[in-house]
C-alpha cells in the first residue's frame, strides 16, 4: 500500500492530514447523531469537549489504519 505524500486538487497541494481530519469530523457527526437518536447523549456532561475527544480518537484511528500522514 502506497502512502500518499500529498493530495492535489487542481494546482493546489494539500496534506493528507486534511483528509484525515475531514473524515474524522464526518465520522464524529455520524456518531453524535446515533448518540442523539438513542438518547445516550443526555448522559454526557460536556458535549462540545466530547465531540472534540471523539474527533481525536477517530483521527488517530484513521491515521493508524487507513491514511498515514
Per-residue pLDDT of the chain (69 residues; tens, 9 = 90+): 555 567 777 878 788 888 899 999 999 999 999 999 999 999 999 999 999 999 999 999 998 888 766
Res 67: pLDDT:
73
- pTM to 2 decimal places: 0.81
Sign of the torsion formed by the C-alpha atoms of 54, 60, 66 and 69: positive
Res 6: pLDDT:
75
The closest of 68, 69, 4, 60 to 27, measured between CA atoms, is: 60
Res 15: pLDDT:
82
Res 1: pLDDT:
52
Amino acid at each position: 500500500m502506497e502512502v500518499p505524500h500529498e493530495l492535489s486538487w487542481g494546482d493546489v497541494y494539500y496534506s493528507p492530514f486534511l483528509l484525515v481530519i475531514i473524515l474524522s469530523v464526518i465520522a464524529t457527526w455520524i456518531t453524535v447523531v446515533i448518540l442523539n437518536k438513542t438518547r445516550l447523549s443526555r448522559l454526557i456532561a460536556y458535549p462540545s469537549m466530547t465531540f472534540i475527544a471523539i474527533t481525536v480518537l477517530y483521527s488517530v484511528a484513521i491515521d493508524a489504519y487507513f491514511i498515514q500522514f
